[in-house]
Each structure stands twice: as structure tokens, then as C-alpha cells.
Amino acid sequence: MLKRMLKSGFVLATVTVAAAGFMAVVSQPAQAASRPINCKIVLCAYPDCGYGYHTEIPPGQCCPICVADK
């Protein structure tokens, strides 16, 4: 009986720790959104803009996009 109780307690503790870890991972994207982007570690695909367009990097972003010439 004692063995069964210890085993049940171990399983409950393992599930509790796993759930806490999952919640920490799930809540990270909200925290990451408030941090600035480190563009040194971002790999961008540079677009091949057509005639009448040029590349421009939007504020707060790392990678360029095609925008129409003015």
C-alpha cells in the first residue's frame, strides 16, 4: 500500500511539474513581443522587386519588403 501511495505521489508531482513547464512556455510569446528584435540573428529573404518598386525595411522590422516608388 505504501508503495502504491509513493508511486501515486511521484506521478502527481511529475504531472504538476510538467504542467508548470508547459505554462511557462505558453506564456513566453507574450513576453517576447515586448522585447526588441535582434536583427543580427534574423535571416532575411531579400525580395526581387519589379519595375516601379524598391526595397524598404519597415520600422521595427528586420527584413525588407517591396514598396512602390513615389
Q: Does 31 lie in the same domain as 1?
A: yes
Domain match, 3 and 28 both: yes
Same domain? For 24 and 42 the reply is no
Q: What total number of domains does the chain contain? A: 2
Do 14 and 44 belong together in one domain? no
Please give the residue range of the domain that contains residue 41: 37-70
pLDDT at 6 over 90: no
DSSP assignment letter at 64: -
Q: Rounded to 10 degrees, what is the CA torsion of 11, 12, 17, 21?
A: 90
Same domain, 3 and 31: yes
Q: Count other Cβ atoms within 10 Å, centred on residue 63.
A: 14
51 and 29 in a common domain: no
Closest CA to 47 of 35, 37, 61, 33: 61
Helices (H) and strands (E) in the chain, counts: 1, 2
The string of pLDDT tens digits covering residues 35-62 is: 788 999 999 999 999 999 999 999 989 9
pLDDT of residue 35: 75
